[in-house]
Structure 1
Amino acid sequence: MRKILVLLLAIFLLNSTFAVIIKAPAVSLTDKGYVGVPINIQINVTKGDGHVFMDTMPLTELDMQGSARIAAKVAGEVTGKDMNKYNIYITVRSDVPVVGGPSAGGTMTIGIICELMNWSLNKHVMMTGMINPDGSIGPVGGILEKIEAAKKANCTIMLIPKGQRYVEVNGKKVDAVEFGKKLGVKVIEVGSIYEAIPYFTNKKIVIKEYPENISIEEKYKNIMKKLSENVLKMANEKYENISKELSNNYYVDYEYQTMLLNELNASKNLLDKANNEYITSEYYAATCSAFNALIKLETIQHTIGYLTGKEDISTFLTNVQDEIESDEKIVYSKKVTTNNFEEILAGRIRIVEAKKLLYNAWKSYYLGNYDEAIKYGSFAKLRGDSAVWWVSLKENDNNSEIINESKLKPLAQQYLDNAETISTYVETIFPNLPTDGLENDLESAKEAYKQGDYLLTIAESIDTCVKAEIPLVIFGDIKYFKKYARNKINLAENLGITPISALGYYEYADSLNDSISKIMYYKYSSYYAQMDIDVMKVLNKTNKENISEINIVTNEKVNSEETATTKGNNVGVIISAVIGGLIGFAGGYLARRAST
């Protein structure tokens, strides 16, 4: 009898969850305009299968629900937990209707982290800010009203997104820090969830930093050096041939002659850039620059052919179509192994892009826009060629294990779900943003999944995620994205992986001057490094314990004005209730036994 009661007690305690209750600021529309109001968010985490449930009263808009899914994903990465093994229950309550918005995303992430780690919360801290999939905190509206909400909730610290200290009100800039000071609220800017955690918990989560693996870096450089040498050779030779051909075609009219000469000069500038990048061992960047030069030169070549009557556009596009079909057969004839799946994936991605470019070429042709048809057709041809270059980088791969791609189906579904979540989230937040490109990429991912091409599904899903996230992080901290990507790469390398695509995108991002493009390619880099880790984990080719140690938790204390907590107080009450309930259950059970 005692054993049964002890067992019941253990089961009950193990399955009981202690809710985290955290306050978040929101904005409500009243007769007097917008005002800040605090809302209560209760978070429970149980064993489960990856679901996120939300109950809101009054009802909130869909962007908060999207935020909840992103928050769960980020919390899993920050804590090293596999969120496919948990269910998240989020209950939001407010006394008044609040204006919809994703500003509680960061707060929900903090709450989920504390629930996963069984940490107490500082009840005198409040936060506003979107949560982005990489853990960065995005901008929100109503900063001043939310500081007022913090005051109403008796909070002494208010965390706001980095870069939002100065708020424009009626054409004048208001310092949020000074505004908060007058209310007795200390306003602090944070750029990521890692910066926010110490204020809520007096604990610090640090991204575990891994060193670069020198041997793998050299291996990557040797692979990319080979590719860049081949592309540079082709581009330099083509430049010499096209220069001669263009100089001999004086019968091309002046307008076209000028246009083509300008394109030739542009290609020369790209080639000079590529040659310099090669000299400084920036092989991926050199390959990209040389490839872009090739596109211009190919376009010039076929434009001359069209203008001189030597080439028919329809015949040219038909030939390109035949070449792409031939390239596709080569790419898909290659066996996918643990050593070459990145290169094979790169080839498949380029075949898909070649087909899309060819579609645009035919479309331009039938609309009578022949210049555009030639540009798209030239690009499509070279993109198909590049697919073969990539899958040919590792010809001698007989000793590597062949991958059964069906094993990647659950991972592909996970990436596809993530892409749908993020794209829907962004569409909800930015309803006026053109999303045709996102929808097309998502459809491509779904089509690849239907065809059983799970590697391609993952790549197309990554493409969707990166493009969707750009509006969220456009004003973000480039240093954060760079560090985040570099650490993902280093983790992959320390697990014995050669993350070719991730290293290539990282190198290319470094070579760019445009901040948005830099952010985009750093994000591609981090996504592809994570893909490598995930694929090898699925195939059991790496140490699972190492993968779960992306972040480490320390007990470093941070300066905080308050130490009172919410969860700590609640736990005592809940434990008392649990024990009381069990005692009552045991007493009732014994009484019933005695009466029989």
Structure 2
Amino acid sequence: MENRMRLLPLSLILFIIMAPSVVSDSENIVSIMAPAVTPDGYGVMTEIEIEVIPGRGRVLLNTEPFIGLQTQNSEKIAADIASKYTGIDNSDKDIIITFRVNATSIDGPSAGSAITTAIISAISGTEMRTDVGISGTIEPDGRVGPVGSLPAKIEASANAGHVIFLIPSEQEFIPVIVEVEESPVPGWTIVRSETIYLNLIEYGRENFDIEILPVRTISDVVDIMLNGKLQPTGVDFGEDLGIVLGELNLSDTIKPLKNLADKTIEEAARLLKDAENRLSSSNLSEVQASVSSSLIDSARIELASSKNAYTNKVLYGAANHAFRSVINSRIALDLLKYNSLDYESSLSYLGGRISETGRKLDAVKIDLANLNHYASDRDSYEWAVAAQQRMTQAEMQFYSQGADEEEIFRTLAITEGWLNIAGNFYDIAVVLSSGKRFDSSAFKALASESLVNSTSLATQFYDISEYGPFWYVSLAEENLNKSWFVASYADSMAATTKMYSQQEMNLRGLEDLILFIDAELSSLDTRDSVWSELYRDYASFLLERSQKVQSINLLEDSMFYLRLSEAHSGLKNTVASMPDERSKDLWGSDIALPLAFGVLIVVFAILSYTNQRRTLLPKSRRL
């Protein structure tokens, strides 16, 4: 307790999060008590004052303590959004923001939503509630964006007497790293780090008796803090998912992915709703329902991330997170059905699901029989190769089923998901095919050499995690066996990229990594490559999120997709340098010799028949 009550050091940098406000006697001044977080992770309270006076439309900041660029930028966005929301022209007013805190500097964008609400309160004369706290950035379109250190901020807000705390809708669940102790043998203790997902609604209610409400936009915040309305607890995706699946300003290169992203998001929302309804109506015990409940929570998190990516026009991220949401909901539904049946019926259900997925796998194999043809088309190969990669992933997943029912259902859900994506990518490849083909056999040597190198590297990294280097190496080997040479090369490339990106993470400090990745992304040339552009956009998206929620895992993913984008740009150049496919004319093709041999046989047969006929016919006589 003494540590928490000590004076803040002069070097403290606070990430300010707005809380309830009290309107002073002057309708133009709003005083805000705000929770913040110190560098060592403690939640504290500070005071911020917003004053609106006649002026020239300026946002003026008190420079003691020093206010960093992120906070300054956030305040300017807040003033702009407040003006747009209220319809009040602030061009004849100045907004003065004063921070009163025992520190030399303040920075961070997490006060954005609260500052916006406070400015709306000040310029409209509407009093804010005094029992509500909030944490969230403000985006230029009025969305409430994610922030870090929410548990500490919730605790500080609760200790200040607040009964409600508003958080960004996509952060109802947040990743938290915990230490787990294990004793493999007597006398030995191993401490390892493990990432769990913390439900903030339950965390606030159970630990501090404070109601946590997720909000999406500044309208949601104003409804609660100024208008006294209460939002329902939890994320409501609604029929329209809270976003418009309409036209996006996309490049022609990546536009074909939009339809798949739309369909996957819609399927994710539908399956999540089905799973939630089945869970609520089930008569399962708490133990039986707990796994499905956890999966549904994960599906909700992934769908929220998908919506965020889609809104930011990051198609790969939108489709990827929606895909994960679909998988988790499918597993939850399967488990809920399975656990509601008697023993014999549950075994029958499990066997039926395995057979059903096996039939789907066989059917897709037949439908995609011509996949390798499109994998050597200069205009469609990227989509066809991506389909080959997903097809192989589906096969490998299906034939590596786990021991218990949860793992089996996970295997089946992922297999079905990859099959669906492979089919969609194949359809895109067919549409984009130009008939201009390159000699893909030239990739055989490249794929073989790359596989040897990536296999050698993988044995040095000892990373056997799911979708780690060894996973990509296995895919590359399987694709090489199928003579899918470009796909094999791409998977070997991914394995190597995975390892080198991990190595780069270990060689740089956190701040250096952020600056480095940002600089690399800015200079990246995607060279009209579909996957280079998609991965670059996703890397940028992950980089931004990693800074907002302070996640090293997201930063590592950003590095991986940055390097993967570079690799696919290089692959595009390699394909461009490949010779055209050899002409399939009659005598220059591989069938020339068998065809000639067949013709000789036919000629020989005709001659033999003619000879035989002459022998059998009666000889002519002279009269």
**TM-score of the two chains, using structure 2 as the length reference:** 0.46
**TM-score of the two chains, using structure 1 as the length reference:** 0.47
The structure number with the bigger radius of gyration is: 2
Higher helix share: 1
